[in-house]
Amino acid sequence: MYNAPFLKELIRSSLEEDIGTGDITTMTVIDGNTVAYGTYTAKEDGVVFGLWIAGMVFSELDPDVEFRPLVSEGDSVRAGDVIATVKGNARSVLSGERVGLNFMQHLSGIATRTRKAVDAVRGTGVRIADTRKTTPGMRALEKMAVKAGGGSNHRFNLADGIMIKDNHIVAAGGIAPAVAAARANAPHTLKIEVEVESESQLEEALNAGADIIMLDNMDIETMRKAVAAVNGRAVTEASGNMGDRDLAEVASTGVDIISIGALTHSVRALDISLKFRIDPERE
Amino acid sequence: MYNAPFLKELIRSSLEEDIGTGDITTMTVIDGNTVAYGTYTAKEDGVVFGLWIAGMVFSELDPDVEFRPLVSEGDSVRAGDVIATVKGNARSVLSGERVGLNFMQHLSGIATRTRKAVDAVRGTGVRIADTRKTTPGMRALEKMAVKAGGGSNHRFNLADGIMIKDNHIVAAGGIAPAVAAARANAPHTLKIEVEVESESQLEEALNAGADIIMLDNMDIETMRKAVAAVNGRAVTEASGNMGDRDLAEVASTGVDIISIGALTHSVRALDISLKFRIDPERE
Amino acid sequence: MYNAPFLKELIRSSLEEDIGTGDITTMTVIDGNTVAYGTYTAKEDGVVFGLWIAGMVFSELDPDVEFRPLVSEGDSVRAGDVIATVKGNARSVLSGERVGLNFMQHLSGIATRTRKAVDAVRGTGVRIADTRKTTPGMRALEKMAVKAGGGSNHRFNLADGIMIKDNHIVAAGGIAPAVAAARANAPHTLKIEVEVESESQLEEALNAGADIIMLDNMDIETMRKAVAAVNGRAVTEASGNMGDRDLAEVASTGVDIISIGALTHSVRALDISLKFRIDPERE
Amino acid sequence: MYNAPFLKELIRSSLEEDIGTGDITTMTVIDGNTVAYGTYTAKEDGVVFGLWIAGMVFSELDPDVEFRPLVSEGDSVRAGDVIATVKGNARSVLSGERVGLNFMQHLSGIATRTRKAVDAVRGTGVRIADTRKTTPGMRALEKMAVKAGGGSNHRFNLADGIMIKDNHIVAAGGIAPAVAAARANAPHTLKIEVEVESESQLEEALNAGADIIMLDNMDIETMRKAVAAVNGRAVTEASGNMGDRDLAEVASTGVDIISIGALTHSVRALDISLKFRIDPERE
Amino acid sequence: MYNAPFLKELIRSSLEEDIGTGDITTMTVIDGNTVAYGTYTAKEDGVVFGLWIAGMVFSELDPDVEFRPLVSEGDSVRAGDVIATVKGNARSVLSGERVGLNFMQHLSGIATRTRKAVDAVRGTGVRIADTRKTTPGMRALEKMAVKAGGGSNHRFNLADGIMIKDNHIVAAGGIAPAVAAARANAPHTLKIEVEVESESQLEEALNAGADIIMLDNMDIETMRKAVAAVNGRAVTEASGNMGDRDLAEVASTGVDIISIGALTHSVRALDISLKFRIDPERE
Amino acid sequence: MYNAPFLKELIRSSLEEDIGTGDITTMTVIDGNTVAYGTYTAKEDGVVFGLWIAGMVFSELDPDVEFRPLVSEGDSVRAGDVIATVKGNARSVLSGERVGLNFMQHLSGIATRTRKAVDAVRGTGVRIADTRKTTPGMRALEKMAVKAGGGSNHRFNLADGIMIKDNHIVAAGGIAPAVAAARANAPHTLKIEVEVESESQLEEALNAGADIIMLDNMDIETMRKAVAAVNGRAVTEASGNMGDRDLAEVASTGVDIISIGALTHSVRALDISLKFRIDPERE
């Protein structure tokens, strides 16, 4: 489903981070033949994403562990819902427990917050998008979580989208030369987005042929005028502390996209617990 | 100051994540001789940690960039405070901007929340500690941020502390055999911590010679009794959703340590902005 | 200038590939204090690219080696031109010689062939672009060489451009649904390119709102008609065995871009020699 | 068959290079249950090598993809021959297509050129050998392709053969001391090869006990005399722009080996196409 | 059983170290269909550890090779005992032979020496422990071998135990402030060990609350007095050239632990041979 | 001097192994401004090799640490000799101390044992060589240590030498076809070594044109006869438990080379101590 080699490496290093030179408690206290049966339960309402990573974590540690999700990625769950089970050698399951939960809770937190934002603009046709304000090393997964929550992805990195911001404009001597330089030198497969802060910049950007206009930190009235001025000549994107704004109101301005850094930079983990039944008799 | 090889690798991979095959906007729009002068400003009150990482990010990209922190790691800052400056080749500075900020804002968010918790128990002698509920790949830095905020670190990973939880107890047939197994087989340099949920478990753990008792998810009254029962025979640690508890009240029970997963798993980034002045004339 | 961490790693692994467990000849035959003075000479006419990599190769082996390019990247040179010099410890220089030349000759071969293609369409406004038909592991450098030769880069990889080909069309049940699916689910920063083989497909693609139309393996007359039909509603790109076509003729159809796999998949190395003068007396 | 760990890593990084953060077209346009049936066809005559790598590429992406070669590595094929088939999840197959073809076409190009050189000297007993003038990162595979084409491998890297060239000779103060130094200090399992450019050098090398004599850039007559002078006392190797020489003529001088850098540094990819039939109904 | 990802990486790099660019003898001399049947025999008495690594080595090279241990890890064997068998493709088995043996013989050497030390103090209740004086890169395995031999592990690295030595004491201005600083700043899960060289230091360490006292390089009488002085207030550990001491005598002083660097820094490989029967007819 | 990229990586991973997530003692007990002055002293007679690695270890941790060797690599030292000094930030020096010593003591142990073997055959012209029986991951350094001790290196790995052993002979149907297969298929730069156990095998090997004859596990008389039979037609190498043989006696048979696995597989570390003077006042 996803870029396996990259994820395997991430999971491997996360296990190294958490296990270090060995899970000394489990190795010394738990008999090697014990079997554990575990149940993952949501402790609060939310949107689940990243269960499959817990499965990969166990596979990495011990291919015989059976991890079974009971809901689909992106599903809404209620407090008390059992969302997955795990069964396998108790040492493997105990040693992999925390890493799987750390991924799952963080990503479900992102999916949950994204879903709320999407719900806030439902019916308006506006897309909720993420940004590059992600946790170092976790961007791919965090962007998947945004999708699972119903959001859209903005460019993944500095290579797959052209975004001309204030500093680029100053350095290039204006919006027109900046857009021209990008068009002349960048791959023709990329759209050109320009960040504007005023009406005059907006006009300059449209005249230069910008494909996307980012309306940065504008109040509602200014944004509404800007969207009207664009009048379909470009895609419009509202940005700048959107995590603290009334999204329905922003959507009412007619923008096409609202991008929200807080979706990924200010995440409240979704509370998920894992409880075991241990069977020392078997395996 | 910190484990340089490990950090270099993390920074390198974070840059790869963000830059991908190249910062196409900057490379096509910004002249290679332009110089940028940048100023980092705190946009809200908080505790700063991770400025030095932004410095390392720029060093990795371009050793000639000069990054200068104006406050010390762990300092409290107010909204509007200028906390660092940067100067260098505009391409280098623009391409490294986001990665540095992503580290700095996330870690400052942790330091800020930790400081609040520490302030809540100030004067009681209680230590605020972190947990293993960290973001995969970021544990070392997140734990440094907790220290910078005034907190203490719990064990770093499964190798450097023995923590006997409910599942270990079931599997080993009780607290006494679990503690005995750990003592017989683990390095003698590690303390043995036992998680207890009841008075009888508490007695069993003390009798078994546990060095640390974790009081899991107890109400204030139970906790107070437990601390009295321990009576100095072991270190006591309050745990379980401490992110939502009244910490002063918990501290009043006499526990030695309060460990809080939310310090690292539910982080609100501290808002920090970077503004540039571009000088296309020079270098 | 370029993404340093990535390149360092490539150079390091190339040195490992060539040096293996040690340059046994040099270590046993050359005294450790000998100094070598080397001169790089072009043995045939062409466009040079990749000199700087030879410099990085020596830096990796021995920071005291001085490598000095005498021409600029992308310059045309004539047989007999001295294009760079090197001076340093003879062991370092001899051990790094081959790796540097292997990069330089391969990349200069690409730049040279690109320049010829660019010259063939000069004055028409048509852009010569590369493809993803590159040597595994060398794509970043090969695409730089194309730029140095005067060409343009197509998308770098499967992540930074949407290209809907025949198979995607069949699988999606037509061009219209394929384009709609891409627009709904992909980042809004990416353009949508559609490969068409017939007039009817062309119409369908334009109606679906394709940003770029790839005209695949068409004869001149068909291509000319296609460009006329597009009539500025999209960017047009000629593709398919363009390495064997008369590029001026293709350009005459009015296409915007000609993409040529052979620029990078069928490379004739530019002949460059390195001759030394050895000074056993010094250092 | 070959050094699996090394190859897996190469394939993994080549996939990362081509897929980047995800094949955005395939993921958004192709349904996850679609099955693709593909056919690889040679578009021109040549020698095939590297089919197995395409198989490994698909295995890395998705172990359920079935790749089936229809010819053996090193087989001669004619334009129009179907040489392999592939069947599997359409997303996996489409995402891995290009990397497999890039390897296969490049390596088959090498095998094809080598076969032509081998055919040119067939019956003479002369061996066609490669050099270290390979594409960085691809040496192991390129040398396998040379073998598949019927050629021989020269030393793999600077560690597994002693080759004393002009610069070593100058630095050591002559051929005799250079050979003596190598013999005294290098592992006794390695042969000593000396590059000579004149009759007197040849005598010196033979007297020093060189195991192999490289005749560098000599005309036919000089080479013939040199071979006669050696008279079986050492292996003889003709070298220097052999890619542009009449190999039968060179072979007629009686040399044992002709080494040709162009086999690997100036490769024309063999044209191979992959066409799919998509079945959206199944799996 | 053990931290698989880490070990796979170690085995992979060890194979690369030994195979380099390919086992040229086996590839050129052994037919690809030949089957080898091998028998591992102990050539001297000792304790075996690391057989399973040989199994992992073959798995890495060729999953079809069948490796079967005939004794358990940590078993005592006699000269002449057959301890394992292997069967599989002769190329795979021959190419992996040396790496597996190198691990197995080195680690069995450690287990053997540890067993001797353990036997020397059997019945006294004293534990034999290792140190950080291990072979770079092999610590995890070497410490497993010590356990297999009946020994205990000391701290794994500088992170999972506090050890205050002479230099720390000087720098901190005495034992008391050093212990206080460690207790205030280090995780509360770690014990504090203090190295003492005299009676007064011993008292200071006990008063400071040290959990473990290391008695460094003391003669028997001094050690006996020190143990008496400690009188159960801390764990005692004898250290310093214990590889050359009479361990029974040291044990008689009543110390709890004897740590011996020589267990891992001065290892005599256990002689184990692998003999094959080759069957060229099959597979 | 040596292959820097490879060594840097080894040192980095060795530091990670020893430091783990941080040197908790040093970080909590030693003030960050303290300066340490250290002195390395040999505690027994021996040959020193690997001092430079300690220097690299400190450079990796902290470039400001000054490490100064007082003897040359390969020098004989006496117990009590001061062999190096170090000065720098006390935290850096203390954290890197053990890794540097672990390398230095192990490698000096090898150099010391090699020197003894070389001394035992001094004047006979016989070369003492190592084998592939090395510690996984340490081969390059261990072979350097053998050279420093006055020994010679055998092939580095399976790629840079052809060694036909009993199993290859059986599988190939005799010595003659085995040698023929190797000569036909392996690079012509490698010599062919054949292991023989009897007179008839010896003849067969010589007739097949073996370059080197390994006399495996022969008694003195048989070896003497074998050398006489060879009579200069090939290089002769004595092998098989040479670590336990009287080397002068073996040398007296006239063999050219004696290869000894025990040089690297059964190493007794050379005892070297590092003592510090701490200056808490400065830096």
> Which residues of chain E make contact with F159, given a CB cutoff of 8 A?
19-24
pLDDT at position B277 is 85
Task: Give residue-wise pLDDT tens across range C42-88.
Answer: 999 999 999 999 999 999 999 999 999 999 999 999 999 999 999 99
Looking at C22-98, which runs of residues are DSSP E strands?
35-42, 46-47, 66-69, 76-77, 82-89
Please give the mean pLDDT across all residues of chain A: 94
* Residue B20 to residue C140, Cβ atoms within 8 A: no
pLDDT of residue E77: 98
Active-site hit among C116, C133, C183, C191: C133
Q: pLDDT at residue A3 above 60? A: no
Q: Which residue of A has its CA nearest to C193?
A: A189
B20 touches chain D (CB under 8 A): yes
Tell me whether C167 touches chain D (CB under 8 Å): yes
What is the per-residue pLDDT for A203?
A: 96
Q: Check if D8 is active-site.
A: no
Q: Are strands B46-47 and C35-42 parallel, antiparallel or unpaired?
A: unpaired
Q: Is E260 within 8 Å of chain B by CB? A: no
* Nearest chain F Cα distance for residue C61, angstroms: 7
**Distance between CA E257 and CA D8 in Å, rounded?**
46
Q: Between chain D and chain F, how many beta carbons pairs sit less than 8 Å apart?
A: 81
pLDDT, tens digit, for every residue of A121-177? Answer: 999 999 999 999 999 999 999 999 999 999 999 999 999 999 999 989 988 889 999
Return the pLDDT at E281. 56
For the question of residue D18 being annotated catalytic, the response is: no
**Residue E26 distance to chain F (closest CA, Å):** 7
Cα separations (Å) of E171 from C96, F33, F276, F279?
46, 10, 10, 7
Q: Are F94 and F249 in contact (CB under 8 A)?
A: no
pLDDT tens-digit series, residues D130-189:
999 999 999 999 999 999 999 999 999 999 999 999 989 988 889 999 999 999 999 999
For position A283, what pLDDT does the model report? 43
Chain D residues in contact with B21 (beta carbon < 8 A): 20
Mention every residue, 6+ apart, whose C-beta is less than 8 A from residue A203.
A229
Strand partners, A259: A129
**Amino acid D277: pLDDT:** 85
Q: pLDDT tens per residue, chain E (283 residues)?
A: 345 667 888 999 999 999 988 999 999 999 999 999 999 999 999 999 999 999 999 999 999 999 999 999 999 999 999 999 999 999 999 999 999 999 999 999 999 999 999 999 999 999 999 999 999 999 999 999 999 999 999 999 999 999 999 989 988 889 999 999 999 999 999 999 999 999 999 999 999 999 999 999 999 999 999 999 999 999 999 999 999 999 999 999 999 999 999 999 999 999 999 998 877 555 4
Average pLDDT over residues A3-30: 88
| E171–chain A Cβ distance below 8 A for any pair | no
CA–CA distance, A193 with A206 (Å, rounded to integer): 10
Q: Tell me which residue of A160, A158, A161, A178 sits closest to A169, measured CA to CA.
A: A178
Catalytic residue among B216, B271, B279, B283: B216
Instruction: Give the closest of A3, A5, A159 to D22, CB-based.
Output: A3
Residue of B nearest to A175 (CA): B29
CB contact under 8 A, C21 and E21: no
pLDDT in tens, B208-232: 999 999 999 999 999 999 999 999 9
- pTM score, whole prediction: 0.90
CB within 8 Å: A22 and E2 = yes
pLDDT digits (tens, 9 = 90+) for D20-35: 989 999 999 999 989 9
- Residue in C29, C36, C267 nearest the CB of D266: C267
Structure tokens at C191: 């353009």
Across the E:F interface, residue pairs with CB atoms under 8 Å apart total 221
Please tell me the predicted confidence (pLDDT) of residue C283.
44
pLDDT of residue E280: 59
Predicted confidence band at D268 (pLDDT cuts at 50, 70, 90)? very high
DSSP state string for F13-67: HHHHHHHTT--HHHHHHS-TT-EEEEEEEESS-EE---HHHHHHHHHHH-TT-EE
B19 closest CB neighbour out of C1, C3, C159: C3
Interface touch C95/D158, C-beta < 8 Å: yes
Cβ of residue B185 closer than 8 Å to a chain A Cβ: yes
Q: Which chain D residue's Cα is nearest to F161?
A: D189
Using CB atoms, which residue from E12, E20, E21 is nearest to D5? Answer: E12
Is the CB of residue B145 less than 8 Å from the CB of residue E146? no
Q: Give mean pLDDT, residues A27-45.
A: 94
The answer for F 198-257 residues in CB contact with D (under 8 A) is 211-212, 235, 237, 256-257
What local confidence, expressed as pLDDT, does residue A1 receive? 39
Would the pLDDT of F93 be above 60? yes
In chain C, what residues touch B19 (CB-CB under 8 Å)?
A: 3
Annotated active-site residue B203? The verdict is: no
Are the CB atoms for A196 and A205 separated by under 8 Å?
yes
Residues from chain D contacting residue C109 (CB–CB below 8 Å) = 266
Mutate to test the interface with C, among D15, D16, D25, D185 (most CBs of C within 10 A): D25
Q: Which of E13, E25, E161 is nearest residue F163 as measured by Cβ atoms?
A: E25
pLDDT exceeds 70 at position F250: yes
Report, as residue numbers or ranges, the catalytic residues of F.
Answer: 98, 133, 165, 195, 216
Contacts C140 to B, Cβ<8 Å: 21-22
pLDDT in tens, C135-177: 999 999 999 999 999 999 999 999 999 999 988 998 888 999 9
State how far the Cα of D199 lies from the Cα of D177, in Å rounded to an integer. 18
In contact, E76 and E239? CB cutoff 8 Å: no
Judge whether B61 is closer than 8 Å to chain C, CB to CB: yes
CA-to-CA dists, residue C123 to A188, C114, C120, angstroms: 19, 16, 9
B133 counts as catalytic: yes
Residues of E in contact with A32 (CB under 8 A): 1
Residues in D touching C103 (Cβ below 8 Å): 136
**How close is the nearest chain A Cα to the Cα of D65, in Å?**
14
Inter-chain contact A10–B136, Cβ cutoff 8 Å?
yes
Q: For chain A, say whether D61 makes contact (Cβ under 8 Å).
A: yes
pLDDT confidence of residue F3: 52
Please indicate if any CB of chain D lies within 8 Å of the CB of E10: no
- In this complex, which of E98, E172, E276 lies closest to F29 when CB atoms are compared? E172
> SS3 for F204-242, per residue?
HHHHHCCCEEEEECCCHHHHHHHHHHHCCCCEEEEECCH
* pLDDT value for C81: 98
Q: Would you place residue A280 in the very low, low, confident or very high pLDDT band (cuts 50, 70, 90)? A: low
Chains touching D (at least 3 CB pairs under 8 A) are: A, B, C, E, F
Encode D186-197: b = buried (16+ Cβ within 10 Å), e = exposed.
bbbbbbbbbbbb
State which residues of chain B have pLDDT below 50: 1-2, 283
Q: Which residues of C touch D170 (CB under 8 A)?
A: 276, 278, 280
With a CB cutoff of 8 Å and minimum separation 6, the contacts of F102 are E132, E133, E134, E135, E136, E265, F14, F18
* Strand, coil or helix: D258: strand
F22: contact with A, CB 8 A cutoff:
no
> At residue D268, what are phi and psi to the nearest 5 degrees?
-105, 115
CA pair distance C261, B119, nearest whole angstrom = 64
Q: What is the pLDDT of residue A170?
A: 86
User: C106 and D14 in contact by Cβ < 8 A?
Assistant: no
Cβ of C22 and F3 within 8 Å? yes
CB of D125 within 8 Å of a chain B CB? The answer is no
Chain A interface includes D63 (CB < 8 A): no
**Pairwise CB contact (< 8 Å): F157 & C21:** yes
Q: pLDDT tens digits for D68-120?
A: 999 999 999 999 999 999 999 999 999 999 999 999 999 999 999 999 999 99
* B233–chain E nearest CA distance, Å: 14
Which of D16, D20, D21 is nearest residue A5 as measured by Cβ atoms? D16
